[in-house]
Structure 1
């Protein structure tokens, strides 16, 4: 395989996640078996080519687009670089947020504490990525060896149970060590929360489990925030009465001092509550998967003559785990599974147990290696941008936005969103890579580049995709989904979206700007839904070019709305967005720039449309 062929393979959707190129209802073993069947591949391609539009990549229209993009993209990078030079008047305001970089002659933007922490710990996380699977191998060989009892290639149910017990026992023990190393004595607080949630599922009458689960876990989100991680010193100050305090002081050590002494052993990450939100999703998943399993206790893939080693992802998620699988050991092994504990991606309990029992056919070392190379290239891109474009430092230094031109303000906002996307993508992909190396295949969180989106609905599906899928399973579908067949259905559907995105905003952080972000997302979905109702694709089949142009105009407007919503939620807030917009439209040149930017965005959206068509010609429909 040549260099260019390998690069093409690295950026293939199948490398990113097999879920993108194959139906969730198709067992991946069938895909592997058909991989070398040339006749089947040609038949499949011919089938999908007949349903999709002819390629436009080599048409005069797209050659014109290539010329436009060849000028616009370098210009955008130049604008961001130009405002980041020491000669710019605003440079002194954010210079304190820069640090010496590894590229000669350049400093690096270190203004984002979240990415900066991740960046500093990359060597340690890389070492853990290698050490953890090696420790598992040693444990499997010495502490918990499993002997094959069957003669066939398919594991027997007994062998599958042994594999589950082998993996879960290691994950349980490693989880306890991992918690103590990360959070010190606060590991006790986390285990108490986990135990309380477990008791909600196991001891309450069945009909009370779902409401109690939601009340408990949403309450935990608020309690963690308001109580700042339940400091022992603060709890001691609240519960200790003055006489008791005086007695303890006389003995030379007060209860409060003892609590503060415990707080000093906070591990590598003393503020455990910041990243506990992701664990809350797993607690909900365990409880509700257990609740739904009670209706299907007798269901078994083996009894239904389904090959349990070749389950599709849809089957792994929907088929309930066995009654014996809902043990406290398996629950802790799942909730504190080391590769996914800190940031995810999120995997349901049913899927996790299924992959513990039978190794997923999607785990292939060649694909995992390509995925690792792709992660390294993304990391390199982030590092280069932070060395040359200081857009995050500029926005965090509360600059005088009036000192920037309309083009500079727009590019700063656009690049800011890309850096937010990259800083989230990198941890998610590193930890998913760790899980893949360890033999678990969770969903990929990022489907598209942030600049390859024009639809609010599709953007939500492709940004933090595992959270989107979790929200569908545990919130959206139980609330009834959506339907716009009547005014009453539309009102109920809008309320469903509001409830879903209110939870999503509160889950991210309990802040008003994130609530506003969540509600803005719902608000900006409405024009897209109305446009889809007024311009149904079926009525434009005889005029595909006209329909494509109309959709592109709407997509440009939608893109600007999405940029504003995400700037409010994750970058500059409402006040910052108001100042940026005022700076862009401060004079007539701002209007001229917006017109030019809209034209460039129009070209970009046309390319996005064609990317989807190219995927459709391969039989791929990501719906995003």
Structure 2
């Protein structure tokens, strides 16, 4: 195989996640069985989408040859502009130089590691890699010593007894490792986390059934606020409060043994003392457990005898309730603190987790996991190269005088800042998913598209943090009634649904006003796209497909600009910073000229995005994003 063939396999959608190439209603075992006929699986998949006339590929047309020329000229120039703004000769360089440190690329002795989130991940990559190897090996040793079995082997269709034994093996190990993992990461704060988990378990199992949904949401949203306000509930602060209450308001901290003891406990905070900033992802699993348990109570008599439990489709794994005995405290802790996914996800529902503990997913194949690991390594390399040559985050860190930058530099610095945000999220998500795949659990992939391969606000939300999107659909969007724009009343209710969903999404990320504004902006920017879809339905343009494509492209360029604005507000500069940057862009006529040029290049980029999706549809894949 040549280099291009290997890269083609590495960057194939099937490598990223089989959920993108196989319907969620199709058991993956049927795909494996169809491999004897190499075209059978793709033909079966394509049949669903090819009932309409297939579009003709545009990759070899004069129109797209023009686009290739634009790409060849524009992309290197974009990198050059950002690099030029990062030169040591720039007037602003001395202001952010303290945030730069020696790098490993020859000739580039400095690099940008100003982002604390990525810096923490980057500095711990060697230890995480060791844990990725050690954890699955320890599981195999555990199974061999405790259960006298080799966990690598499994019958093609295990009996129910064998499946229960596999679940017991994995859940017992996950539970024990979860306790050790918590103590290592958070020290004595592990008991605070276990206390929250115990209270949530009681909400699900001890309250009357009809109270569980409301109590679950109130409790977990309350935990988000309490964690933020309580700053992790320091033992010293708790002791100080108790001592003040007991002593009637008089206290001498230096002589208070209780307060000193609390401070001593706080000194044992583990590797990551600020556990509360990592707990948001766990909140999603707590809600998933409670609501999956709540829904299972209505279906206790349900038994899907027509399904092969060892060969369920993903949709069936999620929707089929776990057995009553599966909702034990041990399984709950094993799920909520499952080590590979604890820190950053991706998110997997409790039903799906239990199903995968019983039966090894057919999607877990060594060759695919290796390709996925290589894809992660290439993404990590891309991040390192950008950080060594474009100091966009360091520039933003010092709140520079934006007037020192040209309109082109302001635009490209903002653009690359979004890419760094995308990469700093993608890399941990993919690493932890890789760890999970090696360990035998297949969670959903969080990122489908590159941030530069999104033109629709609705589709962007589906492809960015996809496991969270799917979680929001199951536990918020669908229970609230989904969306419909058949009437004005339905439209108003649907908009309210979106507002509620994105308000929770914003609060879940962090309790900050700028993130609430980001969430509401996303909803606001969805409205033009929804309105355009109603005013310009595709069926009315079937006789003029090229005109319709061009019209859609103009609207898509506007969408891209709005999405960039919303994400720069939420995750980069905030409202004031963005206002300052925009003022700098439009301060001179050259800014308007560059913006017109940028929109023209975006137009070309969107046309390529359209054709990428059409190519996927010709293969029988429709990701709707």
TM-score category by the smaller chain? over 0.9
In the other structure, the counterpart of 2:17 is 17
Sort the Cα spacing of 1:82 and 1:324 in 2 relative to 1 into closer, same or farther, 3 A.
same
- Equivalent positions of 1:380-459 (< 5 A) are 380-459=381-460
CA distance in 2, matches of 1:152, 1:65: 52
Question: Secondary structure at 1:557's aligned position in 2?
Answer: helix
- TM-score for the superposition, normalised by structure 2: 0.97
CA distance in 1, matches of 2:46, 2:171: 45
In the other structure, the counterpart of 1:502 is 503
Q: Which deviates the most, 390-399 or 330-339?
A: 390-399
Between the two proteins, the alignment pairs up a number of residues equal to 621
In the other structure, the counterpart of 2:126 is 123
CA deviation vs aligned residue, 1:595-623 (integer Å, no higher than 9, x gap) = 11110000000000000000000000000
Could you tell me whether the CA contact under 8 Å between 1:524 and 1:562 is conserved in 2? Answer: yes
Sort the Cα spacing of 1:29 and 1:228 in 2 relative to 1 into closer, same or farther, 3 A.
same
CA distance in 2, matches of 1:408, 1:478: 45
Could you tell me whether the CA contact under 8 Å between 1:343 and 1:427 is conserved in 2? Answer: yes
Q: Deviation of residue 589 (structure 1)?
A: 1.0
CA distance in 1, matches of 2:486, 2:249: 70
Q: Deviation of residue 347 (structure 1)?
A: 0.1
- Equivalent positions of 1:46-85 (< 5 A) are 47=47, 48=49, 51-85=53-87
Q: Deviation of residue 32 (structure 1)?
A: 0.9
Question: Secondary structure at 2:36's aligned position in 1?
Answer: coil
Could you tell me whether the CA contact under 8 Å between 1:482 and 1:496 is conserved in 2? Answer: yes
CA deviation vs aligned residue, 1:421-475 (integer Å, no higher than 9, x gap) = 0000000000000000000000000000001001000000000000000000000
Could you tell me whether the CA contact under 8 Å between 2:14 and 2:20 is conserved in 1? Answer: yes
- Equivalent positions of 1:216-615 (< 5 A) are 216-241=219-244, 254-301=257-304, 304-615=305-616
Sort the Cα spacing of 1:41 and 1:360 in 2 relative to 1 into closer, same or farther, 3 A.
closer
In the other structure, the counterpart of 1:29 is 29
Sort the Cα spacing of 1:141 and 1:247 in 2 relative to 1 into closer, same or farther, 3 A.
farther
CA distance in 2, matches of 1:200, 1:128: 34
List alignment gaps of at least 5 residues for structure 1.
none
CA deviation vs aligned residue, 1:282-340 (integer Å, no higher than 9, x gap) = 00000000000001112234xx1311111000000000000000000000000000000
- TM-score for the superposition, normalised by structure 1: 0.97
In the other structure, the counterpart of 2:3 is 3
Q: What is the CA RMSD across the aligned residues, in angstroms?
A: 1.9
CA distance in 1, matches of 2:406, 2:448: 33
Q: Deviation of residue 554 (structure 1)?
A: 0.2
Q: Deviation of residue 4 (structure 1)?
A: 1.9
In the other structure, the counterpart of 1:623 is 624
2:200 equivalent to 1:191: no
Q: Deviation of residue 105 (structure 1)?
A: 2.6
2:142 to 139, 142, 151: 139
1:88 to 71, 87, 90: 90
Q: Deviation of residue 145 (structure 1)?
A: 3.2
CA deviation vs aligned residue, 1:56-107 (integer Å, no higher than 9, x gap) = 0000000000000100000000001001110011101111111110112311
Question: Secondary structure at 2:505's aligned position in 1?
Answer: helix
Sort the Cα spacing of 1:37 and 1:398 in 2 relative to 1 into closer, same or farther, 3 A.
same
Sort the Cα spacing of 1:255 and 1:246 in 2 relative to 1 into closer, same or farther, 3 A.
farther
CA distance in 1, matches of 2:134, 2:191: 25
List alignment gaps of at least 5 residues for structure 2.
none
CA distance in 2, matches of 1:250, 1:584: 55
CA distance in 2, matches of 1:392, 1:82: 15
CA deviation vs aligned residue, 1:1-52 (integer Å, no higher than 9, x gap) = 3322111100000000000011000000011111231452574487455643
CA distance in 1, matches of 2:544, 2:455: 22
In the other structure, the counterpart of 1:104 is 106
CA distance in 1, matches of 2:41, 2:236: 65
CA distance in 2, matches of 1:524, 1:131: 46
CA deviation vs aligned residue, 1:247-306 (integer Å, no higher than 9, x gap) = 9989976100000000000000000000100000000000000000001112234xx131
Q: Deviation of residue 245 (structure 1)?
A: 10
Question: Secondary structure at 2:344's aligned position in 1?
Answer: coil
CA distance in 1, matches of 2:154, 2:341: 35
- Equivalent positions of 1:205-220 (< 5 A) are 205-220=208-223
CA distance in 2, matches of 1:588, 1:386: 31
